[in-house]
Structures are given as C-alpha cells and as structure tokens.
Amino acid sequence: PTLSPHTGTVPHPIDVQWARARLIDKRLKEANGEGADRGLYKEGVLVGNAGWFLNEEGGAEIGYAIHRDHRGQGLATIAAQSVMHMMLAGGHKGPIYAQYFQDNPASGRVLEKLGFKRVHEIESQSAGRRSSAMAWVMMLEPTQQGESL
C-alpha cells in the first residue's frame, strides 16, 4: 500500500463493507454540514479525492489523496485548492487545518505552497499503518485563504 499509510482513516486493505459504510458516513456528514468529499478526475478517470471534515477539536480540516500513478502532476495542489474553494463558497469563515505525516514531505510542500503554516507536531493515528506516526498540524489563517485560490 502506498496511499493508506499516509491517511489517518483509510485502512489497508479495504473491503466493500468498509467502503459502503464510509460512503454512508460521508453523505450523512455532508447533509449535516459537517464535511464533504469529492472525486478528482483527469480525462474521465478518477485519480484521487479531496474533502473537508470537522476534526476532533471542531475545526475544519482538509484532506486529499492522489493515486500513485498520477502523482507529481500538480493534482494534489488542485485537489486541495478545490476543496478549499468549496468550503469558502459554502460560507466557511475560520481557519482551515490540515495534517500530514512527517514521512510524507510531498504533502507538506503542497500545503506550504498554498500558504499553510506549521502549528505543532503530534502523534497521530494511521488506520493504514495500524499504528501511530508523527505528523505536522498545519493551519491556513482566514486572511490568507483568498490568496491560496
């Protein structure tokens, strides 16, 4: 697995039951204004996804994932920008948070390019690793959000 170790909530391997439950949960959260997920397509092919959710502290946090065959093409930046645009169009006014595991510096570079700043270091759970790993919590101040889009 090359994706799941870099996510907090996607186990490896996944099965149909997990995927169905995940879709139902995401739909309920979107209906309640607690998040949204969207697929990222390139030439009609699903190459990744991006979304936002309320983290444990109640802050709005983004996440994104790009299939390994499509990395290095700027798609993570597009995915992150798209979800931030969706949040702002929906009326989001506060800071936007993101996390990335320290062994995934490419994700950190995407966030830094968009104006996110490191807030602090945490030990975060990874369902794909079935363990925890060190991660950086990043934040984009409301005054910086328009500049990132």
Kindly compute the dihedral angle of the four CA atoms of residues 62, 35, 86, 17, in this order, to the nearest 10 degrees: 90
What is the pLDDT, as a whole number, of residue 15? Answer: 84
Q: Which residues contact 83 (CB under 8 A, 6 or more apart)?
A: 36, 38, 50, 51, 52, 62, 64
Please name which of 139, 143, 35, 141 lies closest in space to residue 87, comparing C-alpha atoms: 35
Q: What pLDDT does 51 receive?
A: 94
Closest among 5, 7, 127, 103 to 61, alpha carbons compared? 7
| pTM, full prediction | 0.86
pLDDT at 66 exceeding the cut of 70: yes
- pLDDT the model gives residue 144: 78
The widest CA-to-CA distance across the chain, in whole angstroms, is 41
Tens-place pLDDT, residues 72-123: 999 999 999 999 999 999 999 999 999 999 999 999 999 999 999 999 999 9
Read off the pLDDT band of 3 (50, 70, 90): low
Instruction: Return the pLDDT at 149.
Output: 63
With 70 as the cut, is the pLDDT of residue 4 above it? Answer: no
How far apart CA 96 and CA 139 sit, in angstroms, is 6
How far apart CA 31 and CA 53 sit, in angstroms, is 12
Q: In this structure, what DSSP letter does residue 76 have? A: H
Could you report the per-residue pLDDT of 36-62, keeping only the tens digit for each?
999 999 999 999 999 999 988 889 999
Q: What was the pLDDT predicted at 5?
A: 61
Range with lowest mean pLDDT among 11-15, 33-37, 84-88, 137-141: 11-15
Residue 85: count other Cβ atoms within 10 Å of its Cβ: 13
d(CA 13, CA 145): 35
Instruction: Tell me what pLDDT residue 143 has.
Output: 77
- Can the peptide bond before residue 13 be classed as cis, meaning omega within 30 degrees of 0? yes
